[in-house]
Amino acid sequence: MKSSARVFVRQRPSKLAGPFAYLQPETDIVGNVSRTKFDQAAGEALAQAIRDIEKDTDAEIVIAVRGRSGNYRHADYLCGAILALIGLVFVLFSPFEFHTYWVPVDVTILFIAGAFVSARSDLIRRLLTGKEFRAKGARTGAAAMFYEAGIANTSAENGLLIYLSLLERRLEVIADRGVLKAVPPLKWNNSVFELKRVGRNPDAEHLIKAVRDLGCVLAEHMPATGENPNELPDGPRIELK
């Protein structure tokens, strides 16, 4: 018997420390329109897709959508430093007169403003970090969730994680050995390629379609036997932060 689906939609507070801990509110979804596409309705649609797929296959699918995977505090500080430097250069070489007393105050305010804006903008954080850094963050987050969520512990080794990280615009797919043994490599690679294309421009509808297409492949090569219990929740884990 299939368990009821639970949709986890959570927004985490900022992890900025020290005097900048207030830079990002707990429910911040500003700075990336794609975050608004993964709301409660999208979560329920993803859960229904998983239920439909698992009726025809023994594979256990978990979908995770995260606002970001890496720590971008250094990008926020870099943005603040750049803005502060621009302000300092303007003060030093401007034809206008500024009282020296206010120079450090202005520079500090500009630094805080730059860090504040960066903390609320996925675009700025992407511009100030390297592609490899973002890819590593997504891979690390996916690997951690694969084990922490118990996907690696299914009795038939048939767990499958589809992990989408919005800031990084990366989608990672991690499958247990039972899935990899059952699905031919060519079909598996094609399905993963289509899923990863969704990660470049995150959209709930495109993700659902790609997941259902993968479900058809799983149903063909890992058909439901009726003997495999539903060990993992059907509801997606959506964490926007």
CA separation for the pair 159, 150 (Å, rounded) = 9
Angle, CA of 161, 138 and 215, to the nearest 5°: 25
Using an 8 Å Cβ cutoff, are 84 and 57 in contact? no
Copy the structure tokens of residue 59: 């594979």
CATH number for the domain that contains residue 233? 3.10.310.50
Give the residue numbers spanning the domain of 118.
73-127
Q: Where are the beta strands (DSSP E) in the chain?
A: 8-11, 60-66, 159-165, 170-175, 237-240
Q: Are 139 and 201 within one domain?
A: yes
DSSP assigned state of 5? P
pLDDT at 188: 94
What pLDDT was estimated at residue 36?
Answer: 62
SS3 call for 52: helix
User: Is 23 within a domain?
Assistant: no
Residues 120 and 202 placed together within one structural domain of the fold: no
123 and 134 in a single domain? The answer is no
Query: pLDDT per residue over 166-182, tens digit each?
Result: 999 999 999 999 999 99
Query: Could you give the CA distance from residue 194 to residue 198 in angstroms, rounded to a whole number?
Result: 7
Residue spans of the chain under pLDDT 50: 1-33
Residues 236 and 211 in one domain: yes
- Looking at the structure, do residues 223 and 117 belong to the same domain, yes or no? no
What pLDDT, on the 0 to 100 scale, is given for residue 16?
39
Rg of the chain, C-alpha, whole Å: 22
Q: Are residues 136 and 234 in the same domain?
A: yes
Do 147 and 223 sit in the same domain of this protein? Answer: yes
Non-local CB neighbours of 209 within 8 Å, separated by 6+ positions: none
pTM for the whole structure: 0.79
